[in-house]
Structure 1
Amino acid sequence: MFASKSRARIMQLKLELKTTKKSNLSMTDYLQKIKSLADSLAAATQPIPEPDLILHILGGLSPEYESFVTSVTTRLDDLSLEDLNAMLLNQEMRINNAQISFSPEPQANIANSSSCFNGCGKGHGHGRGRGRVGFTRSRNQSVANQSGARSSVICQLCN
């Protein structure tokens, strides 16, 4: 009876190890969960070899770690579990910093001008924005006419 429970427990631990995903866990929590499962298997006389444990860890990472996983699995030299842990913590920090740096923020074309770019005197507020929003050239105008003089820009709001 005891042996049957031990086998069932070992199978449960192996299955849990195989199916554990990082998901929303921090990298520290994810690695701790994997380590706990590996330690439980070792205590049940079923230790997981380090290269297999590394593959379990990499297999549970989310798609944002795909390039990292590729770089680790194509290495020619051996990687220790300790080195992998340090690299994963560093990679998590890089991903978090990139998400903060590149998070989309609303942008607006705001102008400090009280009159139209063309000098129409109307306060459209589009004279010094971040782009050319609000301006078009008429169909017959080009950037420069035949004599080389610049053409004027037409305000879409007041023509």
Structure 2
Amino acid sequence: MLYQIVGYSTALEIWYALNQIYSTASMARLIEIHAKIQNLRKWGMIAMEYIQKLKHLYNTLVAISEPISYIDHLLYLFGGLNRTYNPFVTLIINQPDKPSIEEIHSLLLSYEFRLDSKNSDDQLSYLQANLSQLNLIKKTFQT
């Protein structure tokens, strides 16, 4: 960032310059960020790395006052997963309650762990058990 503020002599000038650089939501910048999100795939990444890259892009949009919706978040997240994750995606989208993004991320990490540990027979039942437990906890706190 230093090279972007060289030549300014007051804090106000620096603030104005940085604000123009990072806060202005130009159409080109918005399209670029959305394209990066749409094209991001998990291929070769662990789930945590994939989630962090998505979060970075989402936070960039928030910083320029263009946050994405819950549904768009899910569409982008699920769109970057390969067919190995279809049972996970199906289970999440068929939930009667709307799990938070953080809960979905946690479940994705659990699901990937199960995939990696080669216990393919009980992957889906493990995920269902986690979701059932999560729903039970939610209901307990809601009453």
Same fold (TM over 0.5): yes
Greater Rg over alpha carbons, structure: 1
Q: Which runs of 4+ in 1 moved over 6 A?
A: none
Task: Structure 2: give runs of 5+ residues left out of the alignment.
Answer: 1-20, 121-143
1:53 corresponding residue in structure 2: 73
CA displacement 1:47-89 (0-9 Å, x = unmatched): 0112321221011111111111111112121010110010000
1:39 corresponding residue in structure 2: 59
In structure 2, C-alpha distance between the alignment counterparts of 1:33 and 1:69, rounded to whole Å: 19
Letter in 2 for 1:26: I
In structure 2, C-alpha distance between the alignment counterparts of 1:58 and 1:86, rounded to whole Å: 14
1:80 corresponding residue in structure 2: 100
CA displacement 1:9-44 (0-9 Å, x = unmatched): 110001111111101111010000000000001111
Larger RCO (CA within 8 A; separation ≥ 6): 2
1:22 corresponding residue in structure 2: 42
Letter in 1 for 2:42: K
CA displacement 1:82-138 (0-9 Å, x = unmatched): 1001000000100000179xxxxxxxxxxxxxxxxxxxxxxxxxxxxxxxxxxxxxx
Q: Does residue 1:66 correspond to 2:83, yes or no?
A: no
Structure 1 residue matching 2:87: 3-state secondary structure:
helix
Aligned-pair identity in percent equals: 30
Judging by fraction of residues, say which structure has more helix.
Answer: 2
Task: Structure 1: give runs of 5+ residues left out of the alignment.
Answer: 101-159
